[in-house]
């Protein structure tokens, strides 16, 4: 099947097109869908395609399946023959062929060839914040008051861009993005489909970062340790504690980290990982605390959990403290893998009493016993204050008081 991009140029699988008069098949099967293509060879294919168009009415560019190499070469030929930018030409190809498997390695070579033929103008460098619900991303732009942040949050373009590396690559190029922060890709994180989607989207992002040499920051979770069944797990911010995830969320983030490690080791890329607990702020309170507040306001009984070896210890970090840490990485002051939290020792009993006291509630607090073990995670952030001046400043009680 031929997929026509314009009136003269189409792409197809080599075996699906029979030669007919006025049509010319340009064979690009000798290219590889990876790094290593000879730049001169790519240039010759592009030049040949342009010359062929002067003699034949139609040009059909063919690779093995008509998915990647053919469309990448089509981008270059259309850019030159129609005198449009690489970005506009790539957008035209993507919209016409509806293909999400155009390999970025070949597109990168095409882009570099086209840059040799045109003068490039320097633009300001932008930072892309990928955040499904936008909570953290919007707070970053508000707190830092910088105008070089772009937010990709839940909407029509969210899954379209993250599921198609060529489209994401186009977005990065058009907006001159040099740094990407992956904050979240979904609201609900404890499902099997979340594991699949996180790895799928993350690999596409890493492929783009590898081609564009973009700095990448990934917000992971302390849930990568939630399978370690001890009463108290002590971690340093740069801990080498072996991970042991449990449940869909912990497994998803652990596998995501392994994928990042693979790219980092293979390509020596500039990536950072921040493992965090639940994030909160005055406009986003964890669900269990919302439940405490609703019951306290009505004077209803508040049930809290107690496990076989522990009360339900809660690890939190205020969004403002998290933003300060992200900013340090974006400013290239630190890089690597970090465990951080809000440095508050809180359990469900302490929090429920804070809520009852703040709202002058008549609610009684009852304990529900859970037949499993629970781990309290403590993180020693003290050396970060000495090294980079970061330490958590916000307290949960102040957030509750301001509700």
Q: Which long-range contacts link 209-212 to residues 24+ away (Cβ below 8 Å)?
A: 209/180, 209/263, 209/269, 209/271, 210/104, 210/263, 210/267, 210/269, 211/104, 211/105, 211/107, 211/108, 211/169, 212/169, 212/172, 212/173, 212/177, 212/178
Q: What is the pLDDT of residues 72-82, one digit of tens each?
A: 999 999 999 99
Domain 3-117 has CATH 3.90.190.10: yes
Domain boundaries, the chain: 3-117, 126-401
pLDDT digits (tens, 9 = 90+) for 110-167: 988 888 665 454 556 899 999 999 999 999 999 888 889 999 999 878 999 999 999 9
Instruction: For the chain, give the mean pLDDT.
Output: 92
**pLDDT average, residue stretch 368-386:** 91
Neighbours of 149 (CB within 10 A): 18
Asked if the domains 3-117 and 126-401 are classified in one and the same CATH topology, the answer is no
pLDDT tens profile 251-290: 999 999 999 999 988 777 779 999 999 999 988 999 999 9
Residues with Cβ within 8 Å of residue 113, at least 6 apart in sequence: 39, 42, 43, 46, 76
Residues 6+ apart with CB under 8 A from 363: 295, 296, 298, 299, 300, 301, 302, 356
State mean pLDDT over 199-212.
94
The answer to pTM > 0.85 is yes
Q: Quote the CATH superfamily of domain 126-401.
A: NAD(P)-binding Rossmann-like Domain (3.40.50.720)
């Amino acid at each position: 099947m031929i997929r026509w991009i314009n009136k003269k140029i189409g792409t197809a699988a080599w075996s699906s097109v029979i030669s007919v008069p006025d049509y010319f098949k340009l064979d690009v099967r000798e290219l590889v869908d990876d790094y290593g293509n000879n730049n001169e060879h790519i240039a010759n294919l592009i030049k040949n395609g342009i010359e062929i168009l002067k003699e034949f009415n139609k040009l059909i560019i063919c690779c093995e399946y008509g998915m990647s190499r053919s469309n990448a070469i089509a981008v270059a030929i259309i850019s030159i023959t129609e005198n449009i930018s690489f970005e506009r030409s790539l957008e035209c190809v993507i919209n016409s062929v509806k293909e999400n498997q155009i390999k970025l390695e070949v597109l990168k070579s095409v882009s570099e060839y086209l840059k040799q033929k045109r003068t490039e103008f320097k633009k300001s460098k932008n930072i892309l914040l990928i955040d499904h619900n936008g909570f953290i991303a919007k707070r970053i732009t508000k707190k830092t008051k910088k105008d070089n942040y772009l937010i990709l949050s839940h909407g029509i373009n969210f899954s379209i861009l993250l599921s198609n590396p060529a489209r994401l690559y186009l977005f990065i190029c058009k907006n001159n993005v040099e740094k990407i922060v992956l904050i979240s890709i979904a609201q609900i994180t404890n499902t099997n489909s979340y594991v699949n989607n996180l790895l799928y989207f993350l690999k596409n992002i890493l492929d783009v970062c590898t081609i564009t040499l973009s700095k990448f920051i990934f917000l992971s979770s302390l849930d990568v340790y939630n399978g370690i069944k001890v009463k108290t797990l002590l971690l340093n911010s740069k801990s080498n504690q072996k991970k042991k995830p449990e449940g869909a969320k912990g497994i998803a983030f652990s596998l995501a980290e392994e994928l990042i490690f693979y790219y980092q080791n293979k390509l020596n890329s500039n990536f950072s990982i921040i493992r965090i607990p639940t994030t909160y702020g005055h406009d986003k309170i964890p669900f269990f605390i919302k439940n405490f507040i609703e019951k306290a306001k009505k004077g209803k009984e508040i049930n809290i959990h107690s496990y076989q070896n522990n009360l339900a210890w809660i690890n939190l970090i205020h969004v403002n403290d998290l933003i300060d840490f992200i900013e340090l990485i974006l400013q290239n002051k630190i890089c690597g893998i970090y465990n951080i939290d809000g440095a508050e020792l809180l359990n469900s009993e302490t929090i429920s009493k804070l809520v009852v006291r703040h709202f002058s509630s008549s609610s009684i607090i009852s304990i529900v016993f859970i037949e499993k073990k629970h781990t309290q995670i403590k993180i020693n952030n003290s050396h970060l204050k000495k090294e980079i001046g970061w330490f958590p400043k916000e307290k949960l009680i102040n957030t509750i008081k301001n509700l």
